[in-house]
């Protein structure tokens, strides 16, 4: 009888422990819903490097604001002269949909980015237009495939497969830091299921409960090109006018 009771207790305890492990979907949802600031203003350096080590640097002013049901982002290119005043605007809705526009000063025209252009690369970088938005957890199926410690960070490893068979990536694999719910590394696989590129977290800063990824690097392992996105002079929860995120402001630029 004692042995039966002991076995029962082990089974109950084991079931409790296993029940505490989150599913792949729960991990991705916690990462997606991590606390964020109401506004963010920063300088952004985009550093492009080819396989020979040659670099091009683009300086950008970035504004982000959380509206009810939608997060809006504006990126205004300041340097070099060939891209100056080019402006990109992204609206990410809570339901996972997105609207994106780009203003090309040479044409004096605002172009709306269609869903057919999501796989196009943004301003010569290794980030597609789709990469710049927030992918909703419901757009993929997620599976926890392991746990791993990288550079001292304990991470969940989650494989995500898109529900849309026409999506540009056949799957992604993300290493998510357990106690912070931020992605430390993400691998992207192309339509042929070959390893295409890797997104790595280089640095993050904490503003109270808010974590801001201040430097990330995207490396295309197939062609040797890479892009670093580096934020500086970050200010959170500063008042930003609602009309900052309009087509009129895209044309006007920063004065």
- Look at the pTM and tell me if it is higher than 0.85: yes
pLDDT (tens digit, 9 = 90+) per residue, 128-172? 999 998 899 999 999 999 999 999 999 999 999 999 999 999 999
Which pLDDT value is given to residue 6? Answer: 44
Asked if the structure places residue 8 within a domain, the reply is: no
Residue 17 lies in a domain: no
Please report whether residue 11 resides in a domain.
no
Asked whether residue 15 is domain-assigned, the answer is no
Residue 221, in any domain of the structure: yes
d(CA 137, CA 1): 48
**Which H or E run includes 122?**
none
For the purposes of burial, counting CB atoms within 10 Å of the CB of 167, is it exposed (0-12), middle (13-18) or buried (19 or more)? middle
- The per-residue pLDDT for 255 is 65
pLDDT, tens digit (0-9, with 9 covering 90-100), for 173-214: 999 999 999 999 999 999 999 999 999 999 999 999 999 999
Domain span at residue 94?
A: 23-252
Number of domains in the chain: 1
**Nearest alpha-carbon partner for 100 in 79, 131, 69:** 131
Domain at 174, CATH number:
2.50.20.10
DSSP class of residue 128 equals: B
Is 54 within a domain? yes
36-64 CB burial, b ≥16 within 10 A, e <16: ebebbbbebebbbbeeeeeeeebebbbbb
């Amino acid at each position: 009888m004692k042995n039966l009771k002991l076995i029962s207790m082990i089974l109950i305890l084991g079931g409790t422990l296993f029940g505490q492990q989150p599913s792949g979907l729960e991990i991705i949802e916690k990462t997606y819903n991590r606390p964020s600031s109401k506004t963010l203003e920063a300088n952004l350096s985009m550093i492009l490097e080819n396989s020979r080590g040659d670099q091009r640097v683009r300086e950008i002013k970035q504004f982000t604001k959380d509206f009810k049901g939608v997060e809006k982002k504006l990126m205004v290119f300041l340097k070099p002269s060939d891209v100056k005043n080019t402006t990109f605007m992204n609206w990410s809705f809570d339901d996972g949909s997105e609207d994106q526009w780009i203003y090309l000063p040479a044409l004096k025209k605002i172009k709306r980015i269609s869903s057919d252009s999501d796989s196009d690369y943004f301003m010569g970088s290794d980030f597609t237009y789709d990469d710049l938005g927030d992918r909703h957890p419901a757009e993929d199926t997620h599976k926890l495939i392991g746990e791993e410690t990288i550079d001292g960070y304990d991470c969940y490893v989650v494989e995500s497969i898109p529900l849309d068979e026409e999506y540009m990536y056949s799957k992604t694999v993300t290493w998510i830091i357990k106690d912070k719910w931020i992605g430390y590394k993400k691998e992207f696989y192309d339509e042929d299921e070959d390893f295409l590129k890797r997104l790595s977290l280089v640095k993050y800063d904490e503003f109270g409960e808010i974590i801001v990824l201040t430097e990330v690097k995207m490396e295309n392992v197939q062609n040797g090109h890479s892009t670093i996105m580096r934020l500086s002079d970050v200010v959170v929860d500063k008042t930003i006018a609602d009309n900052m995120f309009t087509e009129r402001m895209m044309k006007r630029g920063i004065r």
